[in-house]
Amino acid sequence: MKKSPSHLILAAAGLLFFGTATAQDIKPTTEKELIQAVESHKQLLSSTPLNNYKARNIGPTNMSGRIVDIEVAQNPNTFYIAAASGGVWKTEDNGQSFTPIFDHQGALGIGDMALSPSDNNILWVGTGENNSSRSTYAGAGIYKSIDAGKTWQFMGLPHSQHIGQIQIHPTNPDIVWVGSMGGLYSQNKERGLYMTTDGGASWKKVLYIDDNTGIIDIKVHPNNPDILLAASWERFRQAHDFIGNGKGSAIWRSEDGGKTWKKAVDGFPQNEFVGRIGFDFAQSNPDVVYALHDNQGPSDKEQEEPRRRRNQEENPLKFEDFQSMSMDDAMGLEDARLNSFLRRNQFASKYTASEIKRQLRTGKITTAQIANYNGNANDANEALFSAPIIGAEVFRSEDAGKSWKKVSESDLSRLYNTYGYYFGEVRVGTENEDEVFVLGVPLLVSRDGGKNFTRTDSVGRPHSDHQSMWINPQDGKHILLGNDGGLYRSYGGGAIWDHLNTQMPISQFYSIMTDNATPYNVYGGMQDNGVWFGSSKNDPSEAWESLMGGDGMVVAVDTRDNDIVYTGFQFGNYFRIDKSSGDRKRITPGHDIGNEPNRWNWRTPARLSHHNQDIIYMGSQYVYQSLDQGSTWTTISPDLTKNEKSGNVPFATLTVVEESPFEFGTLYAGSDDGNVWITRNNGGIWASLNDGLPQDRWVSSIAPSKYQEGLVYITLNGYRYDEFKTYVFKSTDYGKNWTSIKGNLPEESTNIIVEDHTNPNILYLGTDHGLYVSMDGGNNWNLFQGELPNVAIYDMVIQERENDLVIGTHGRSVYIVELEEIQKLAQPDQKVMQ
406 to 232, 243, 252: CA distances (angstroms):
19, 24, 17
d(CA 51, CA 437): 45
* Residue 388 confidence (pLDDT): 84
d(CA 191, CA 277): 16
**For the whole model, what pTM was predicted?**
0.95
Which of 400, 394, 402, 467 minimizes the C-alpha distance to 435? 394
Cβ 294 vs Cβ 277: under 8 Å: yes
* Residue 379 confidence (pLDDT): 72
* Residue 14 confidence (pLDDT): 33
* Residue 22 confidence (pLDDT): 52
Residue type, 463: H
d(CA 215, CA 255): 18
SS (H, E, C) 693-736: CCCCCEEEEEEECCCCCCCEEEEEEEHHHCEEEEEEEEECCCCC
Residue type, 476: G
Q: Cα–chain-centroid distance for residue 767?
A: 15
* Residue 18 confidence (pLDDT): 35
- Per-domain boundaries in the chain: 9-27+507-826, 308-378
d(CA 398, CA 555): 52
d(CA 311, CA 316): 8
* Residue 3 confidence (pLDDT): 35
* Residue 52 confidence (pLDDT): 85
* Residue 227 confidence (pLDDT): 98
Contacts of 575 (CB under 8 A, 6+ apart): 548, 566, 567, 568, 584, 585, 586, 587
According to DSSP, the β-strands at 685-688 and 9-10 are parallel
d(CA 75, CA 268): 38
For domain 9-27+507-826, the CATH architecture is 7 Propeller (2.130)
* Residue 580 confidence (pLDDT): 95
520 to 358, 451, 758: CA distances (angstroms):
48, 53, 19
d(CA 219, CA 222): 9
d(CA 595, CA 251): 48
What residues pair up with 716 in beta bridges, in sequence order? 699, 727
DSSP assignment of 739-773, as one string? EE--TT--S--EEEEEE-SS-TT-EEEEETTEEEE
d(CA 303, CA 454): 23
* Residue 16 confidence (pLDDT): 36
d(CA 562, CA 514): 9
SS (H, E, C) 431-458: CCCCCEEEECCCEEEECCCCCCCEECCC
Q: Cα–chain-centroid distance for residue 494?
A: 28
| pLDDT averaged per 10 residues, the chain (length 834) | 38 36 78 97 96 94 93 98 98 96 97 98 98 93 98 97 98 98 96 98 98 98 98 96 96 98 97 98 97 94 54 83 94 96 93 96 96 79 75 97 97 92 97 97 97 86 94 97 96 94 91 98 96 96 93 97 97 96 96 96 98 98 98 97 93 98 97 98 98 98 97 97 98 98 98 98 98 97 96 98 98 98 82 42
Angle CA 242–601–511, to nearest 5: 115
d(CA 803, CA 759): 12
Could you check whether the bond before residue 519 is cis, i.e. omega within 30 degrees of 0? yes
